[in-house]
Structure 1
Amino acid sequence: MPFAFTLPTTSSVLLSDYFDSATHPSLPLTATTKRSVLKDALKKHKRLAPRDRAAHLPAVHNALNNYIPYLLAINTASGFRDVGPERIDLTIIKPLEVEWRTTLSTPSPGREAPRQKLTGIHYEVAFTLSTLGYVQMLLARSQLRSIFDSTRALSAEQRTAAITGAMKHLLEANSIHNYLLSLLNLSGSKDTPADIQPSTVSALASLALAEATLIVVLKDDPYAAAVTDDRNASNTDWMFKAPSIPKVRAHLYARISLAAADYASEAQGLLSKSGASTGRLDNDLIKYATDLRRTSRGKAARFLAIDADLSGKTGDALAWLKGARRELGIPIDTEEGKPKGFRGLKQSWHERREDKKVETSGEWGMDAGKLDEIRVVEMLEAKWDRENSTVNVQLVPPYEPLLASMPSGREYHTTQPYTPPSLDASALALMRAPPEPDERAFRGEEDDSGKEDQFQGRSAPGAFPGSGAEYGRSATSNSYY
């Protein structure tokens, strides 16, 4: 469900080369050590196989939370402000120069995005907090994976716990991105990477809130759970228990889904704007925001269909499902709820491929849950169509007027401001002691990821004219043997 963000990597930096403190001389050295641990954690995370990265996320999360207090203390002191109860006398030797590898910017085809050289501590703060927001989204993603894994059967308590944990991470991601937006020294110039442009950060905040709002209905949605259980060969609940949902909640969930669609639409617009202005924002992220808006509106139409069916209006319910298909962007020419011909074969293959990704921890859910919602709509459409054809025959009205009469969205979450971790009085007191003459900051155990860039400029042999020199062959030689 949440977008599969790629965590950035960064260069090795000795902060004592850029900052000096007369009152807390150990602060730059300690901050360098904490940053080096973070650099190592990000580099190690990048090297791991995709299936092993979810288990390593807590280590990255801890490294970020350990570094952020020192970084924000330096940032605050550089602006001549007090850090908590103390005043830190900080001298800026020269502007901080760091390198971060952008992950939301579109790289050249077949190449990894290069690291960008950035001057100013506000860039360091922006990339560090953005990375923390990505980690929170990925933690929510790992929580939700267990729900969509068809090889495991979760109890109601396990399902609720996973969704509640994911919701907490998503709301925290929203708060982090909003906090980053509130920083007055976040540059919005054209030279700022697309990853930390204000429009991109605002879009990510809306995207996290849209996800957090949408999974509210997932917790109590029996039809989504029934479709997941139906794919599990060992599940037998379908033999004696049919999904049901109270009428009042069906209409309430429709309005909550529409609120999620509004947030996703806002994120889509901001990402499109940021991509148009910079010309290098990842198209997969923009497509994901579009699919999330479609999924939310399709889910809202499906809940309104359930509300109509519970009122005995099967014809209206089938019309709402056709509207759900329209919102999801899938054809309406179906037979018993399933697409016809080659289109149906292609969709079945896509469904099996997506299930395999969930089982192997691949990049599942990059369609923002649209495929799972399509499955629910098809299941209900096949069921109600049979009932309407045999028991209570009702005319199916046009779906366009129904979509035009959709209610307004209803807010569910009350977001809380992000409170970054801060240094306590004891930690500040320890940094009043000057470092030992032979004391050195920890520079990390992993190689600097910038060393990989030496291969970025080399073309693939045979791909471009002049690549023969990479094989040690003379440029004037015409011999291929």
Structure 2
Amino acid sequence: MSVFYYELPTTGAVTFGDLLDDRTGLHTEHISSASSSRAQVRGILKETKRMGAQKDYLRVIKVMEDYLPQLGGIMDCVFAEELVPRFDPKFSWRSTLSSHLLKNSPRVEGTGFYYELCFTLLTYAYGLADLSHATVTSLGLYEQEGYVSETERKEKDEQLNFAARTLCRAGGVFKYISDSILPEWAKVNAASSKGKDRPPDLSPEVLTALPKIAMADANALAIRKLMSRAVAESIAVPGAALPKSHPAPSLLGKLWIHVHTEYATARSLLSKSSSLSSRDEVAGELRRYLERAAAHALAMAFKWFGVDAGEHERNGAAIAFLTAAKEELAELKDVKSPGAGGDSKSQRKEAMAEEIDSVSQWLRRYKVANDSVSTSPPRSPPFSHVLPTSAPSDQPTPVQITFQDVPTKAQVRATVPDGLAVLKLTPFSLPRAAFGPSSGTGARGGDGVDRDGEEYVRAGQYF
């Protein structure tokens, strides 16, 4: 699976000088700087929308990072009444997660600075996720290419790790909106922060689902990196004995179960969002992506639980798990993959076919083992039958046919353990306001710590 590709929104023009009255006479330069930064946001988003596949996401991220302290300064001064709105501030952003009755990605106008802040942070997080997507797309299926040297593979592993860590950052931004911004918005204006007029992008369910999607994508990439050396060593002989570098199959099963749970939970949240208008729903592309990603992760978990069972001579359970994995993958093989955003369709189809072949190899191996004739006493594992054959009395060890019953899919699913995460979300907090009562003088990063090492007490809460 790849990383979900988010369409970046565009936004309408805003001039803070027209919107705000500077009662102190001290913020003329600040207002001009904030307006200039906002214009750069609008410009880079329009430019990026017109570009082809080679979009400059690093530049988008930089522009959004530059604007956040400026917006923070404006909000700081507004709440301190140093700047007073001449009329209700309205900001328009294109809702890129909305599937409207009439068209996709409608332009939605919202009232208040929290609306602007939420969409600014969303766009920032989308940019981080899309940078990760672009990085992964550029790598291709490098671990399956026999001509890639060990040095090259390690370099690409590091790029994969960068993509995963970038998604952890995106997840932190998404979660910050849900956990910190929405509650603050509700205190200021309960109607606008909870009302039905908001686009799907800002509904509580969607904002709870987005960090789960980012972290599921990140953990899937982490699993791929964990497997890269073993895949490179065994790609020539699918289904053969596991190389020494191979992670424990039981561990892989737990990792994939966690990924499946995150995708499935996100999908459930999006399908039951009660905050949406009857005309709006979350874009079908994202919902289909989650359906497919959850099924793929479950298939991978079944595969590795099956291999683990087989390697411990529980062949019946191995056959049941691998059969379930093959069925899940077969259903996915010919389904259109949404959210590709530039991925090679032939590459994805090839990868799916190779995965089905790998599962088939393992399945045949354990079926043969389950039906094999043994000349040694059986271990009598669960669901086993031992059929002694007629043998001469002088034969020390009678020939025996040992096989295990194959449990049902429901029976083996009941044995699936809890999932395990490789990566954790990277916490985010707003940067220090560029100006205003709580701006101070130090410069601080997104972690809320001043460059001199002292933690900023009101990090992320200057309004």
TMscore range, shorter length? 0.7 to 0.9
Alignment match, 2:221: 215
Conserved in 2, the CA contact under 8 Å of 1:98 and 1:118? Answer: yes
Q: For residues 257 and 218 of structure 1, what CA distance do their matches in structure 2 show?
A: 11
Report how many aligned residue pairs link the two structures: 388
**Residue 215 of structure 1: SS of its match in structure 2?**
helix
Does 1:318 pair with 2:314? no
Alignment check: 8 A CA contact 1:4 1:363 kept: no
SS of the residue corresponding to residue 8 of structure 1 reads coil
Q: Residues of 1 paired with 2:104 and 2:205: CA distance?
A: 24
| Greater displacement, 370-379 / 295-304 | 370-379
Partner amino acid, structure 1, of 2:285: D
Q: Residues 173 and 89 of structure 1: is their aligned pair in 2 closer, same or farther, counting only changes over 3 Å? A: same
Cα 1:317–1:377 change in 2 (3 A) is farther
Q: Hey, what does 1:45 align to over in structure 2?
A: 48
Q: Given the superposition, is the C-alpha separation of residues 312 and 156 from structure 1 closer, same or farther in structure 2, using an over 3 Å criterion? A: farther
Conserved in 1, the CA contact under 8 Å of 2:198 and 2:276? no
For 1:244 and 1:129, locate their aligned partners in 2 and report how far apart those are by CA, in whole Å. Answer: 44
Aligned residue runs from structure 1 range 60-75, under 5 A: 60-75=60-75
> Is 1:145 aligned with 2:137?
yes
1:94 and 2:87 aligned:
yes
What's the counterpart of residue 380 of structure 1? 359
Deviation, structure 1 residue 363? 4.7
Tell me the SS of whatever aligns to 2:273.
helix
Give the letter for the 2:413 counterpart.
L
Tell me which residue corresponds to 1:398.
407
| Corresponding residue number in structure 1 for 2:105 | 113
What secondary structure is seen at the aligned counterpart in 1 of 2:54? helix
Give the corresponding residue for 1:32: 35
SS at match of 2:92: strand
The answer to whether the 8 Å contact 2:325/2:359 transfers is no
Kept in 2: contact 1:308–1:314 (CA 8 A): yes
Matched, 1:389 2:368: yes
TM-superposed CA distance for 1:380, in Å, is: 3.0
Normalising by structure 1, report the TM-score: 0.71
The secondary structure found in structure 1 opposite 2:154 is helix
One-letter amino acid matched to 1:160: D
What SS class does the counterpart of residue 221 from structure 1 fall into?
helix
In structure 2, the partner of 1:457 is none
| TM-aligned CA deviation for residue 113 of structure 1 | 3.1
Question: What amino acid does structure 1 have at the position aligned with 2:161?
Answer: T
Contact 2:316 2:407 (8 Å CA) reproduced: no
CA contact (8 A) 1:322 1:399 kept: no
TM superposition shift of 1:395: 4.8
Q: 1:318 to 1:132 in 2, by over 3 A?
A: same
Seen in structure 2, the aligned counterparts of structure 1 residues 223 and 161 have a Cα distance that, compared at 3 Å, is closer
- Letter paired with 1:397: V
Give runs of aligned pairs for residues 425-436 of structure 1, distance below 5 A.
none
* Aligned position for 1:161: 158
The letter of the residue matching 1:63 is V
Q: How does 1:53-64 map to 2 (within 5 A)?
A: 53=55, 56-64=56-64
Question: Mind listing any 5+ residue stretches in structure 2 that lack a counterpart?
Answer: 187-192, 373-402, 442-463
Match for residue 172 of structure 1? 169
Q: Deviations over 1:213-258 (max 9, x none)?
A: 222221122599459x96xxxxxx669x975367872212211221
Counterpart among 119, 122, 129 of residue 130 in structure 1: 122
| TM-score of the two chains, using structure 2 as the length reference | 0.73
Give me the whole-angstrom Cα distance separating, in 1, the residues matched to 2:260 and 2:349. 13
Match of 1:259 in 2: 258
2:8 paired residue number: 7
Deviates more, 1:266-275 or 1:242-251: 242-251
SS in 1 for 2:32: helix
Percent identity reads 22
- Write the distance in 2 (CA, Å) between the matches of 1:71 and 1:188: 22
Deviates more, 1:36-45 or 1:137-146: 137-146
Contact 1:3 1:365 (8 Å CA) reproduced: no
Where 1:274 maps in the other structure, the secondary structure is coil
Q: Distance in 1 between matches of 2:419 and 2:353?
A: 21
Cα distance in 2 between the residues matched to 1:391 and 1:185: 62
Distance across 2 between alignment mates of 1:414 and 1:149: 25
Letter in 2 for 1:379: S
| 8 Å Cα contact 2:68-2:431 kept in structure 1 | yes
* Structure 1 residue identity aligned to 2:54: D
Tell me: CA distance 1:286–1:61, structure 2 relative to 1, closer, same or farther (3 Å). Answer: same
Q: Could you tell me which amino acid in structure 1 is paired with residue 158 of structure 2?
A: A
Cα pair 1:224 1:372 within 8 Å, conserved: no
Contact 1:107 1:113 (8 Å CA) reproduced: yes
2:451 paired residue number: none
**AA of the residue aligned to 1:191:** D
1:161 deviates by 0.6
Per the alignment, do residues 52 and 246 of structure 1 end up closer, same or farther by CA in structure 2, a change over 3 Å counting?
A: closer
Structure 2 counterpart SS, 1:29: helix
Q: 1:223 to 1:384 in 2, by over 3 A?
A: farther
Report the counterpart of residue 200 of structure 2 in structure 1.
194
User: Structure 1: which 5+ residue stretches go unaligned?
Assistant: 81-87, 231-236, 332-346, 431-481
On the 8 A contact 2:137/2:342 being kept in 1, the answer is: no
Shift in alpha-carbon separation, 1:405–1:327, aligned structure 2, 3 A: farther
Deviations 1:448-468 (A, max 9, x none): xxxxxxxxxxxxxxxxxxxxx
Deviation (angstroms), 1:372: 3.9
Cα distance in 2 for partners of 1:242, 1:387 equals 12
Tell me which amino acid in the other structure corresponds to 2:48. H
Give the letter aligned to residue 206 of structure 1: K
8 A contact 2:97–2:200 mirrored in 1: yes
Q: How far off its partner does 1:317 sit?
A: 2.4
Q: 2:355 corresponds to which letter in structure 1?
A: V
| Equivalent residues in 2 for 1:351-370, closer than 5 Å | 362-363=342-343
1:193 & 1:366 partners in 2: Cα distance? 35
Q: Aligned equivalents of 1:220 and 1:158: distance in 2?
A: 14
Q: Which has the higher contact order (CA 8 A, sep 6+)?
A: 1
User: Aligned pair in 2 of structure 1 residues 414, 378: CA closer, same or farther (>3 Å)?
Assistant: same
Q: Distance in 2 between matches of 1:223 and 1:402?
A: 29
> What is the aligned partner in structure 2 of residue 464 from structure 1?
none
Residue deviations 1:96-147, cap 9 Å, x none? 12211111111456x5533122221111111111111111111111121234
Q: Match of 1:185, SS? A: helix
2:393 is matched with none
Contact between 1:129 and 1:180, CA under 8 Å: does it hold in 2? Answer: yes
